[in-house]
Structure 1
């Protein structure tokens, strides 16, 4: 795609738009045309489907298979469409390759089939098992890699969520509440939109059909699973991880809690949505122009104004003082090392935090042979570490990933220490300049 960043932003937007299209198809199974369109438009009022969309990652990638899975489950179970079963397996398998979180839908699908008497007989038919086979076939190339790398994504999940850390009994009670508050906060603008435009939600009183119960299960079930996990582990969810959970939520609310809207209420809805969209747009502009980045309160502003090109230039020039040629490897946290790598020619490999569990494609021996630039944050050692760990910036006990040059020298051999680097931010309200340490591990060829 060349040097342009546009493809990343366009890909992210395309995935979200395709997810919206799948939700619209789902909504039309439950709602009339205008309410179905409103269910999709309402999603844009939520931070999950506006604020975080430019940040292309696995939380975005899983949205489309998540939506298609729910749609295909309806076709397969409620609609008795034989073709939907292999398509369902394909979506689930693709979703597994994007993010394991989609597997939460599997027990929910099974529970719906078991609880509904008329659906139990489906388990004796080939359709569900064909879906399982297709899912396994699509996801199977990932299994050898997972075994070879000691289940690194699972270890990442445990570390990022803080699972396995010593927790008090109180944490087991508060963790679900914290998770619920985080998810509720991201849904607050949706509720504001619906309440302001359509009034307070009221149960419409009609009996729930099997199709309705499926919608409830797919919409609320993932949240219930997260709350139960928090109760047992004492760990709360990271807010971004719940990104796909609420895609069917407007359909559920408009189906069960609101009557078919009149033309007047549709106009009110569009006015409210326009107002919220303008307010959110202004907020995003303030954030990404650096106008509200004081004291590191809004990390997205720090991302957008971080002196990334100056960082890449310092990494490149630091390597050039010791060895010839392009930088082969950068050792550091995922933000500093990854950003510098992205902007440098050839995009050097990144040895994240010098930890093989985080970069299983590299080893200490690779660094000794090829050489590397080590970069670490001296001023704010834990800045942006919440990209990879539960405890990030602001953790008073956090010393960051950097173990000290002596420890790294014991692993990599000779290390040449370079002068510290101070890089000022841009923006109208910049935080303190980034104070970074740099060092070079000479390549084996340089040492000869």
Structure 2
């Protein structure tokens, strides 16, 4: 590293192409190498697969833009594994938006440093092989922040149009997107430039596009009696000051490498504060209201609304941490310090990737239970599909299981299956009782796991008992042959003659 750092040609090359190097490493490490150690899909990807092909716009948990995009990528590539590329492309788009906005606020060099700093935050590496609503929110939040700034500062219709489309897409990704949109609207109302925008057609075009795109989601919420909202409330804790402190502590922990890079880069200390003359009022207000305020609002939500938080709910809110730090506290930045941070961030990314691989390789030495990405998915799907056909004489078409197990079975071993999550018609209304009567169903669950009431009631309604279940054992690692994954199932044949 010292040799590289002392070579002017190499360092000039790294600095000049740092953004492209970051993008390349992101795709290579987290889109190709890290998933190579998986023997099963990540949890949230398996869950998305339970909705695949159903044309679902939302389910009892979330809107389904991630699932629809995954279907598109599978349709193009023919492979479920395309999800890993989709996830990293999402992160890459976020990086580009971060860099473009940062360049307008703090110049090219600091913008590169800000983007590389942001890449060190936990949300941008370790969880990214698991494509889900949080990952998709990151580029959408970043792009929305970029285009609203440009819409107001340039008053070009293109950016107002883009803002309407992106804002609508945000609602199709996760309903919590409303937090950012609320603060964007507040910023438009309280700043002179924002208010003057309403004299033109731009904001009105944005509003119309947003309503048109978001309306199906609004309609779903009303028709489902706000089922996803109730789901979020059920998952949340009771709230209070302790919950706010816990959420903030988790976010600080997720910024550990970020802080280390600041220290290594020499940006912490006296003279860090940027001179007020270099900070323009309109940019400062924008950062406080559109970038910082959503984080503060969410952190205080347990106190204000009495509703607890999950740490991962903060995922899209830290896109511009590097920008905020360098805008307010970048006074110590020099060419040498900038290069130190850039090099550190580029080395950090593959280093974390190695730790991710090591965790998978040595999991059996550390635990009797596999991570979900180490389940023998192909064997599970093949064995259960085969068992259904041999016991009923019919081709399997429908699975009733948890979203995790159902997702594994449907996305491997042959033709994609339909999934009734937890055998619950409320959770999967697109798989009707008539469909099940006509095609039959494989009911499967993890042995020893308490069945949901919907699963138990469903089995009984089909004339079966839990004691009718058969069991299959699956070895996930040779050294753990005595600790297999055990799955119970009941093969229910079609009850309607075709």
TM-score, normalised by the number of residues in structure 1: 0.84
Counting only pairs closer than 5 Å after superposition, residues 89-238 of structure 1 correspond to structure 2 as: 89-162=164-237, 167=238, 171-200=239-268, 202-206=272-276, 209-238=281-310
Deviations 1:288-331 (A, max 9, x none): 3243773479xxx6122111122112321221133233312111
CA distance in structure 2 between the aligned counterparts of 1:415 and 1:151, rounded to whole angstroms = 34
Q: Given that residues 161 and 202 in structure 2 are in contact (C-alpha distance below 8 angstroms), is that contact kept between their aligned partners in structure 1? A: yes
Which string of whole-angstrom CA distances, capped at 9 and with x for unpartnered residues, describes residues 235-254 of structure 1? Answer: 43223322211111111111
With CA pairs under 8 Å and 6+ residues apart, which has the higher RCO, 1 or 2?
2
Alpha-carbon offset, residue 186 of structure 1:
1.4
Contact 2:437 / 2:496 at 8 angstroms: preserved in 1?
A: no
Flag the 1:62–1:320 CA change in 2: closer, same or farther, 3 A: same
2:107 maps to 32
Q: Taking structure 1 as reference, are residues 413 and 439 closer, same or farther at Cα in structure 2, changes over 3 Å only?
A: same
| 1:182/1:239 contact within 8 Å kept | yes
Whether contact under 8 Å (1:330, 1:337) holds in the other structure is: yes
Kept in 1: contact 2:397–2:417 (CA 8 A):
yes
Deviation of the 1:428 alpha carbon:
7.2
Offset at residue 429 of structure 1 (A): 7.8
Change in Cα spacing, 1:293 to 1:248, as seen in structure 2 (3 Å) is farther
Matched, 1:47 2:122: yes
Cα shift at 1:219:
2.1
Aligned partners of 2:273 and 2:331 also within 8 Å: no
What displacement does 1:30 show?
0.9
Distance 1:352 1:140, change over 3 A: same
The answer for the alignment partner of 2:473 in structure 1 is 422
State the alpha-carbon separation in 1 of the partners of residues 365 and 207 from structure 2. 48
The corresponding residue for 1:391 is: none
Give the Cα–Cα distance (whole angstroms) in 2 for the partners of residues 252 and 276 of structure 1.
21
SS at match of 1:261: coil
* Offset at residue 281 of structure 1 (A): 2.2
Looking at structure 1, the residues matched to 347 and 89 of structure 2 have their Cα atoms a distance apart, in angstroms, of 24
2:8 is equivalent to residue 8 of structure 1? no
- 1:18-49 superposed Cα distances (whole Å, 9 cap, x missing partner): 22111111011112211111111222212211
Question: How does 1:315-326 map onto structure 2 within 5 Å?
Answer: 315-326=384-395
Secondary structure of the residue that 2:445 maps to in structure 1?
strand
* Larger helix share, 1 or 2: 2
Find the counterpart in structure 2 of residue 411 from structure 1: 461
Query: CA 1:154/1:205 → structure 2, altered by over 3 Å: closer, same or farther?
Result: same
Q: Which residue of 1 aligns with 2:93?
A: 18
Deviations 1:220-276 (A, max 9, x none): 222222223222444432233222111111111111111262222123213422443
Q: Structure 1 pair 143/116, CA: closer, same or farther in 2 (3 Å)?
A: closer
Residue of structure 1 equivalent to 2:151: 76
SS in 1 for 2:99: helix
C-alpha distance 107-275 of structure 1, shift in aligned 2 (>3 A): same
- Which range moved further: 7-16 or 72-81? 72-81
Q: Are 2:423 and 2:454, in contact at CA under 8 Å, matched by a contact in 1?
A: no
Number of the residue aligned with 1:350: 419
Distance 1:342 1:290, change over 3 A: farther
Output the CA distance in 1 between the equivalents of 2:411 and 2:132. Answer: 15
Distance 2:293 2:432 in 1: 41
Q: How big is the shift at 1:134?
A: 0.7
CA RMSD of aligned residues (A): 2.8
Equivalent-residue separation in structure 2 for 1:434 and 1:286 (angstroms)? 22
Q: For the residues of structure 2 that align with 1:347 and 1:145, how far apart are their CA atoms?
A: 26
Report the count of equivalent residues: 418
For residues 125 and 290 of structure 1, the distance between their equivalents in structure 2, rounded to whole angstroms, comes to 60
Is contact 1:329-1:348 (8 Å) kept?
yes
CA 1:187–1:203 in 2, change beyond 3 Å: closer, same or farther? Answer: same
**Is residue 2:446 matched to residue 1:377?**
yes
Change (3 A) 1:235 1:293: farther
Given that residues 291 and 429 in structure 1 are in contact (C-alpha distance below 8 angstroms), is that contact kept between their aligned partners in structure 2?
no
Counterpart CA distance in 1 for 2:356 and 2:94 is: 22
Are 1:444 and 2:498 counterparts? Answer: no
